[in-house]
Amino acid sequence: MCLAIPMKIKEIHEKNVGVVEADGAETRVSIALIKDPKVGDYVIIHAGYAIEKIDEKEAIKTKALFDELAELNAAY
């Protein structure tokens, strides 16, 4: 099973490296697979790579689903 997390690009550095953020956690990822990445874009992160751009509405909706799953898991 794969898990891909929606995150927002906060910074872009040389050599196709970006800093992304979700829930206050930041990490460095490769943005080499994204066409024309910009600060503020939402991207799907998998295994240290931004693999796809998504719109803000979809990112928020996906994050809400992850949060709901986490709450259900915590209940067990």
pLDDT in tens, 20-72: 999 899 999 999 999 999 999 999 999 999 999 999 999 999 999 988 988 88
Q: Which domain holds residue 51?
A: 5-75
Number of domains into which the chain is organized:
1
pLDDT for the residue 72: 86
List alpha helices for 1-76, DSSP H. Answer: 56-75
pTM assigned to the model: 0.87
CATH number at residue 57: 2.30.30.140
In whole angstroms, how far apart are CA 22 and each of 7, 9, 15, 76?
A: 5, 9, 22, 25
Mean pLDDT of 4-32: 95
pLDDT for the residue 1: 54
pLDDT of 4 strictly over 80:
yes
Please tell me the distance from the alpha carbon of residue 47 to that of residue 72, in angstroms, as a whole number. Answer: 25
